[in-house]
Amino acid sequence: MRDILAVLNIIKWGPRRMFRAKTVLLLVLAGSLFMRSAVAISSSKEGQSATDRTDYVGDAKCHTCHREVAQNYQHTPHHLTSQLATIDSVHGSFQNGANSLVINDPAQSAEPGLQFHMESKKDGLFETARSGWGSQVYQRTERIDLVTGSGVRGQTYLFWQGNRLFELPASYWSDGHRWINSPGYIDGTADFSRPVNPACLECHATYIRALSTNPATNRYDRKSLVPGISCESCHGPGANHVQQMRHATTAKDPSILNPAKFSRDMQVDLCAECHNGIQREGLAAAFSYIPGHPLKEYFKQLPSPDVEHPDVHGNQVGLLQRSKCYRSSEQMSCSTCHDVHTTGQSLESYSAKCLSCHNWQSCGMSKEMGNKITNKCIDCHMPVEETNVIVSQTAGQVVHAKMRNHWIKVYADARQPANGAKADHP
């Protein structure tokens, strides 16, 4: 199923009442929110199912021998795509004057006031929704328990209610360093009932054990959570590797997976698990995918609209595969340009990748721009664009996320450097 229609009870603020409950059908917007079947991956794949994690040892074991690369990786957007909430991991401000999101000011409207207030206390970080007039104020407070998003573009926050996981209504947006309505929320409401299903977490965490085979569940074993994308997400379970290397007489060990030695298709499939859009149906439980296996064994690709200009969100692999550069090469993959173990790559360094195959003098803009064009390849041929998938409507204003288009080609309207480009995550 491409979409999830969830029946949610949303608090709707009205002009003559403090609040009234209204049930609505809310189309859950995407990232990786797609339905999965409850079929567990077969035991023939490395002898493990999605819930059997006995062969996984955690990043700390990797750090023992791979200290430098592991320390660098800890600062990358992949590793930071989810974290436990602390005053350091939450980028939104808790300082007075910058810790509130006002949706409706009753002094300027007939509607009751609605605002979100963020606080840092001794026992944690909290979001509070307040609405009403005068002394008649409705208030709900929930703890910020989990951060999703590295902060390159923004962060959204989750909270636990027993063993159930929900999304909080206020998010942080890096552009402007501000609080906004979480993308997909109905402006003017305070909704604390939006569930977080396993497919949401699959691309934002290494693992969490669901307590139900229902793919739309939001009940989990809280202690099983491994936040962020860890070493073993790409290199596979490391228990055998650790054991063998303790007694190894050679540096070579076939028990650990090295994506650099995968075929081009398997390298791209590894990235495509999270970077190939949402036009697909799950064939296995979340967290089943094993690097080096064809992604089609885990997902059924669904027909996508044959549009001239596809949306840029979560579709980096699909857009790259449309590119003449990719189709003309047998070796080009995501890692041709990206080193997932490091951060802080400059835009110029990506242009240098282009010039390893292309001569800058052959570009149609070379006569106009001269040699300085050598630093501008991706600004023109991979422009930053707005997505219609991650959209926040906040206090009457619409905010779109911006992402770099991975369909490499000539864009007639993209001759100037794109504002808002993120050098560490193009």
- Dump pLDDT digits (tens) for 233-248: 999 999 999 988 888 6
Residue with tokens 């504002």, as numbered in its chain: 419
Give yes or no for a contact between 91 and 172, defined as CB atoms under 8 angstroms apart: yes
Mean predicted lDDT score pLDDT of the chain: 84
pLDDT interval class at 37 (50, 70, 90): very low
pLDDT interval class at 251 (50, 70, 90): low
Given a cut of 70, whether residue 73 has pLDDT beyond it is yes
Given a cut of 70, whether residue 40 has pLDDT beyond it is no
pLDDT interval class at 125 (50, 70, 90): very high
Tell me what pLDDT residue 214 has.
87
Which token pair is 411? 């864009």
Give the mean pLDDT of 392-412: 93
- SS3 for 217-255 is CCEEEEEEEEEECCHHHHHCCCHHHHHHHHCCCCCCCCC
Q: Is the dihedral of CA 365, 317, 173, 14 positive or negative?
A: positive
Given a cut of 50, whether residue 62 has pLDDT beyond it is yes
Give the mean pLDDT of 282-286: 90
The model's pTM = 0.84
pLDDT interval class at 52 (50, 70, 90): confident
Give the mean pLDDT of 333-347: 90
Between residues 363 and 134, which one has the greater pLDDT? Answer: 363
Please report, rounded to a whole number, the percentage of residues in the chain having pLDDT higher than 90.
64
Given a cut of 90, whether residue 205 has pLDDT beyond it is yes
Distance between first and last Cα of the chain: 29
pLDDT interval class at 406 (50, 70, 90): very high
Given a cut of 70, whether residue 142 has pLDDT beyond it is yes
pLDDT interval class at 132 (50, 70, 90): confident
Using only C-alpha atoms, what is the Rg of the chain? 23
β partners of residue 402: 386
Given a cut of 80, whether residue 270 has pLDDT beyond it is yes
- Dump pLDDT digits (tens) for 10-23: 333 333 333 333 33
Tell me what pLDDT residue 12 has.
38
φ/ψ bin of 99: left (φ > 0), alpha (ψ from -120 to 50), beta (otherwise): alpha
Given a cut of 50, whether residue 51 has pLDDT beyond it is yes
Given a cut of 80, whether residue 289 has pLDDT beyond it is yes
Please report, rounded to a whole number, the percentage of residues in the chain having pLDDT higher than 70.
83
Give yes or no for a contact between 232 and 238, defined as CB atoms under 8 angstroms apart: yes
Given a cut of 70, whether residue 292 has pLDDT beyond it is yes
What's the Cα-to-Cα distance from 51 to each of 162, 196, 205, 212, 296, rounded to whole Å?
A: 21, 18, 14, 11, 20
- The kind and range of the H/E element at 324 are helix 324-327
What's the Cα-to-Cα distance from 210 to each of 53, 189, 336, 390, rounded to whole Å?
A: 13, 29, 35, 26
Tell me what pLDDT residue 29 has.
34
Given a cut of 80, whether residue 196 has pLDDT beyond it is yes
Q: How big is the CA angle at 53 (ends 48 and 54), to the nearest 5 degrees?
A: 95
Residue with tokens 């999304």, as numbered in its chain: 167
Given a cut of 60, whether residue 31 has pLDDT beyond it is no
Sequence-ordered list of residues with C-beta below 8 angstroms from that of 27, at least 6 positions apart, any chain: 3, 4, 5, 184
